[in-house]
């Protein structure tokens, strides 16, 4: 017969100070694990949700990102006359030749500054990005050194509100609008006119071309035609696929989270082990009594192991509660491809909390194996004669 579970629960309650200290230690480890993984989850979710399935992104062949791609003006002009492009109400092709640049801005709280991504785009750029919508001010007008910034940029950096201006080199840019990009990668960008960007920053090329086709069949035909064109020498892929490729940025964060979790879990497992050893030392006569009552060594072993797992479960649930308030909190990190700050949110999901609890249970099992074995192997007479 098995040792009743209420026996273990009673002992955890009686030794509540030691139980609370151990559960808190495990909980803190689980909270750190969840928080770091939530960073990677949020960064990945930001990129996965970016891009319109109707759009194609054109890069220079061999390029892995817009920031290291170069497409000349003559090549952009050649693309305009290709068949299969969707057109706006005026009959113009829906395409935007764009360029990615970096500028340095001071943070609004005075804690320093960071590189910020500036996207030079054509007028069709906003139409091609239905996730983004202006929530304040108006869209920029070419030739006037105007820009629109994301809500996240306006919140985090100085002089980025409507009517304010910031300098980049010798040029002052006036903020005329703020847009919301629905938690996509565009929330880390400032938008200016592409031709102004090339003139001010002395670039004679574009970095990419974003375009929309008439449909899936036209997209497949246009991709094949452009990639076979020896003059263009370009790589064409769906915009959504391009941003999914950029999720590799979350890899180092996941590695850091796993590394921290492993290091901290060793300490937490030893804490659980120490708690169980102390419990066994204080309950030596109880263990002898259990043996006299007919409980087998295997049953005592499983009972004490279950107690360690219960302790870890309490810590795991506590860790989830400690991490949960961070869900949705905005933060930023440096993008590996652009070296600019990327804004995103902590994403704490049910699956991530389940992993945190499972991680705690593993610590409980590891911390309880040896103490439970010690309890099960205690000689009956020695246990009964213990003080």
| pLDDT tens, residue order, the chain (387 aa) | 566 677 677 777 877 887 888 888 888 888 888 888 887 777 777 777 788 889 999 999 988 888 889 999 999 999 988 888 999 888 889 999 999 999 999 999 888 888 899 999 998 998 999 989 999 999 999 989 999 999 999 999 999 999 999 998 788 999 999 999 888 889 889 999 999 999 999 999 999 999 999 999 999 999 999 999 988 999 999 998 888 887 665 566 667 666 776 777 677 677 777 776 776 666 666 666 666 666 677 777 777 788 888 888 998 999 999 999 988 777 766 665 655 667 677 888 899 899 889 988 888 887 777 776 766 666 655 555 554
Is the same domain home to 290 and 366? yes
- State which of 202, 232, 262 marks the end of a domain: 232
Report pTM: 0.75
Is the same domain home to 291 and 192? no
Strands 171-180 and 146-150: parallel
Is the same domain home to 101 and 43? no
Closest by Cα among 204, 223, 225, 203 to 213: 223
In a domain, 238, yes or no: no
Is the same domain home to 284 and 318? yes
- State which of 172, 197, 232 marks the end of a domain: 232
In a domain, 57, yes or no: no
- Domain extent, residue 337, equals 5-48+248-384
Is the same domain home to 218 and 338? no
Is the same domain home to 304 and 380? yes
In a domain, 140, yes or no: yes
In a domain, 311, yes or no: yes
- Round the CA-based radius of gyration of the chain to a whole number and report it: 30
Is the same domain home to 336 and 279? yes
In a domain, 262, yes or no: yes
In a domain, 239, yes or no: no
- Other CB atoms within 10 Å distance of the CB of residue 65: 17
Here the contacts of 327-336 (C-beta below 8 Å, separation 24 or greater) are: 327/38, 330/152, 330/155, 331/39, 331/42, 332/114, 332/156, 332/188, 333/39, 333/43, 333/249, 333/253, 334/114, 334/115, 335/117, 335/188, 335/249, 336/248, 336/249, 336/252
E strand or H helix at 102, and its extent? strand 95-106
Is the same domain home to 201 and 282? no
- Other CB atoms within 10 Å distance of the CB of residue 342: 23
For the chain, the domain total comes to 2
213: DSSP letter: B
pLDDT for 285 equals: 66
In a domain, 219, yes or no: yes
Is the same domain home to 212 and 305? no
């Amino acid at each position: 017969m098995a040792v009743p579970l209420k026996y273990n629960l009673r002992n955890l309650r009686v030794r509540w100070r030691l139980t609370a200290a151990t559960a808190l230690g495990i909980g803190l480890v689980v909270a750190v694990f969840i928080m770091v993984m939530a960073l990677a989850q949020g960064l990945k979710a930001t990129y996965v949700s970016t891009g319109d399935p109707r759009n194609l992104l054109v890069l220079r062949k061999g390029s892995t990102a817009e920031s290291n791609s170069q497409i000349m003006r003559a090549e952009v002009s050649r693309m305009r006359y290709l068949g299969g492009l969707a057109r706006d109400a005026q009959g113009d092709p829906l395409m935007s030749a764009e360029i990615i640049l970096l500028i340095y801005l001071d943070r609004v709280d005075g804690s320093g500054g960071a590189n910020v991504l500036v996207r030079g785009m054509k007028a069709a750029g906003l139409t091609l990005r239905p996730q983004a919508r202006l929530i304040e001010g108006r869209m920029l007008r070419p030739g006037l050194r105007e820009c629109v910034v994301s809500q996240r940029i306006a919140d985090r950096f100085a002089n980025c509100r409507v009517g304010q201006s910031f300098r980049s080199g010798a040029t002052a840019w006036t903020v005329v609008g703020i847009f919301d990009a629905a938690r996509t990668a565009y929330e880390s960008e400032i938008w200016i006119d592409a031709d102004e960007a090339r003139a001010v920053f002395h670039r004679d090329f574009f970095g990419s071309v974003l375009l929309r086709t008439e449909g899936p069949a036209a997209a497949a035909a246009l991709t094949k035609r452009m990639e076979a064109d020896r003059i263009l020498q370009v790589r064409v892929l769906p915009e959504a696929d391009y941003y999914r490729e950029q999720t590799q940025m979350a890899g180092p964060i996941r590695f850091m989270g796993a590394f921290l979790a492993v290091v901290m879990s060793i300490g937490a497992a030893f804490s659980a082990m120490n708690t169980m050893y102390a419990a066994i030392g204080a309950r030596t006569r109880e263990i002898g009594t259990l043996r006299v009552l007919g409980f087998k060594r295997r049953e005592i072993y499983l009972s004490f192991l279950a107690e360690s797992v219960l302790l870890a479960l309490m810590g795991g649930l506590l860790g989830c509660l400690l991490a949960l308030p961070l869900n949705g909190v905005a933060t930023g990190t440096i993008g590996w491809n652009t070296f600019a700050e990327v804004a995103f949110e902590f994403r704490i999901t049910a699956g991530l909390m389940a992993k945190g609890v499972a991680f705690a249970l593993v610590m409980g099992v590891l911390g309880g194996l040896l103490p439970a074995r010690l309890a099960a192997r205690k000689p009956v007479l020695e246990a009964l004669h213990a003080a």
